[in-house]
């Protein structure tokens, strides 16, 4: 089924008796279909709904339509200059062929614990707009991921937009993912966003870990510890704490110990880099 407006798609969903599956770029869904891991009776193709394909500047935020491709986000000069962290997350997704067709809405709705946009958008304080025949509701990213491949979107709802607030002055962020081979699955990833005070010390930090066992994890204790640090501060204690906040699972890419160690290494580089970027703004 190929609705051409959001309204049409919303009206269609409740008539399908929960046997429909929304298809956007399908970069995760199509392999699941091919391997018969899922076999929905109906597929609703959202790619033809041009009204949700945009990157738009508002007075205090940026809005991205759900079917905007990952490649469009990665290459947007606006996003590269205002939200380098988001452009980096987009760039981290698969290979260019994937990003040319995969969309931000599909990426988020799939709720893959290895997803790149989840940690990045959470660190940026973003929210998603969910549309259904009953109207619209907002879900902030910290309430979005419920469980392994499970989001807070209900079956008759469509993720239609992502809204990202402009960060305060003297803010900087970074997204970093460790992989075995470029384009492959992440072993460990992290989004860091900091805001500095006038002494170039961290006033506020937001650190979200990706590639975790079920959902992205906000490293709240580490964030608290980061407050007051400057570029020259010793971060050793912080590394120990963040390793305890991580919850990776063992798989072919590495043991739990190895992945926890990687989190330490990433924060060692990512936090100073975020501070540097905040200073440079």
Partner 1 sequence: MKQLLKLIVNGEDHQIYAEPASTLQSVLRNELHLTGTKRGCSTGYCGACTVLLDGKAVKSCLILAFQTEGKDICTVEGLAENGELGTLQKAFVDGFAVQCGFCTPGMLMSAKALLNENPHPSEEDVKEAIIGNLCRCTGYKKIVESIQEAARQ
Measured from the CB of residue 83, what is the shortest distance to partner 1 in angstroms?
21
Neighbours of 154 (CB within 10 A): 11
Comparison of 12 and 217: residue with beta carbon closer to partner 1: 12
Cβ-based nearer residue to partner 1, 30 or 250:
30
What is the smallest separation between the CB atom of 84 and partner 1, expressed in angstroms?
17
Q: In whole angstroms, how close is the CB of 77 to partner 1 at the nearest point?
A: 15
C-alpha dist (Å) from residue 266 to 150, 151, 178, 233:
27, 27, 8, 16
Gap between the terminal Cα atoms of the chain: 47
What SS3 state is found at 138? strand
CB 97 to partner 1: min, Å: 5
CA distances from 141 to 39, 62, 86, 152, 196 (A): 29, 15, 14, 10, 23
Cβ closest to partner 1, residue 36 vs residue 236: 36
Burial class (CB in 10 A: 0-12, 13-18, 19+), 233: middle
Minimum Å gap between C-beta 76 and partner 1 is: 15
Closer Cβ to partner 1, 106 or 210, answer by number = 106
Q: CB nearer to partner 1: give 74 or 157.
A: 74
Contacts of 241 (CB under 8 A, 6+ apart): 219, 221, 222, 225
Residue with smaller CB distance to partner 1, 76 or 132: 76
Residue keyed to tokens 């992440």: 186
Q: At residue 168, what are phi and psi to the nearest 5 degrees?
A: -65, 165
Cα torsion 201, 204, 208, 209: sign: positive
Nearest approach, Cβ of 47 to partner 1 (angstroms)? Answer: 5
Binding site for partner 1 (CB under 8 A): 2, 23, 26-27, 30-31, 33-35, 43, 45, 47, 71, 94-98, 100-101, 182-184
């Amino acid at each position: 089924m190929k609705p051409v407006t959001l309204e049409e798609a919303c009206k269609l969903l409740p008539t399908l008796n929960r046997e429909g599956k929304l298809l956007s770029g399908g970069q995760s869904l199509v392999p699941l279909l091919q391997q018969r891991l899922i076999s929905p009776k109906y597929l609703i193709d959202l790619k033809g709904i041009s009204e949700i394909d945009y990157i738009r500047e508002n007075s205090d935020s940026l809005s991205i339509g759900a079917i905007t491709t990952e490649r469009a986000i990665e290459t947007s000069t606006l996003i590269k200059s205002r939200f380098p962290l988001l452009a980096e997350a987009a760039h981290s997704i698969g290979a260019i062929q994937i990003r040319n067709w995969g969309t931000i809405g599909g990426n988020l709705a799939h709720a893959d614990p290895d997803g790149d946009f989840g940690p990045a958008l959470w660190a940026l304080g973003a929210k998603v707009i969910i549309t259904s025949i009953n109207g619209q509701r907002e879900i902030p990213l910290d309430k979005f991921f419920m469980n392994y491949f499970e989001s807070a979107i209900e079956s008759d709802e469509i993720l239609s937009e992502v809204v990202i607030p402009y960060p305060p002055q003297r803010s900087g962020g970074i997204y970093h993912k460790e992989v075995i081979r470029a384009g492959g699955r992440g072993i460990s990833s992290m989004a860091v966003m900091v805001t500095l005070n006038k002494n170039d010390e961290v006033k506020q930090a937001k650190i979200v870990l990706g590639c975790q066992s079920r959902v992205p994890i906000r490293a709240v204790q580490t964030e608290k510890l980061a407050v007051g640090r400057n570029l020259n501060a010793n971060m050793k204690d912080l590394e120990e704490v963040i390793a305890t906040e991580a919850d990776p699972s063992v798989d072919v890419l590495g043991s739990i110990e190895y992945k926890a160690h990687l989190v330490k290494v990433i924060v060692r580089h990512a936090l100073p880099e975020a501070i540097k970027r905040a200073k440079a703004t």
